[in-house]
A = this chain, B = another copy of it.
Amino acid sequence: MTRWSIGDLAKASGLTVRTLHHYDEIGLVVASERTTSGHRRYTPDDVRRLYQVRSLRQLGLSLDEVRSALSRSDSLRPIFQAQLAALTAQAQQVEALRSRLTALLDGHTTESLLSTLEMMSVHESYFTADQLTDLRSRAAALGPEAVEALKASWLELVKQLRQHMADGTPATDPRVVELSRQWDALGARFTGGDAAIQAAAQRSWDENKASISAQIGWPADDGLVDYVTQARAAQ
């Protein structure tokens, strides 16, 4: 029995009949012989080739890569090296995702998960990767409680400012100017005083008012930012 039927070969190799059909279709592993009625007969050479294909596939190569790897044996080493580089990159990406997920799961309540994600997502459109790394490391350096404290101060600040707005206090009022100074100081704690990051935040703000408003809990287009801008001018 030196010829294999497709079913026996499928069992022996652990692949499916459909997969062998597919390899035959695309000419990757073709049954060298056929019975008169058209049934595939795999020769030992075909079987050898199939096992080579299977092992290369198990290393994560695409069928096209497998094909060219088998076409000339001297192309194996560069292909392997490329594959190793690709796998290394993939490993890094997977690790990055994993750490983000673990951080999210560890540090947040269920309700805050989505809004946190949304903020991250929005921000990533406007900050460069380096800037984000910066922001994150700063947040990490401060520690989670400090970050929470900052957020609380922020909300308190916003509350007072809106109260002044509602009261009709002019933006040039010393109390408002003082609040705007605190606003900027708080912002600097987040941005590290980096002008580029502040500019990116400003740009993000200008272009995303509407969509950001909901997630931070107060209407974004009620003129608060403009009010602070005016007050800042009077500093």
Contact = CB atoms under 8 A, between A and B. Distances in A.
A190 to B, nearest CB: 20
Contacts of A77: 105, 110, 113
Interface string A71-85: 001101100110110
A87 B96 CA distance: 10
A107 interface: no
A184 interface: no
Contacts of A117: 52, 55-56, 59
A95 interface: yes
Contacts of A87: 94, 97-98, 101
Contacts of A114: 52, 70, 73, 76
B91 A51 contact: no
A2 interface: yes
Contacts of A104: 80
Given A73-B110, A98-B91, A125 B52 contact: no
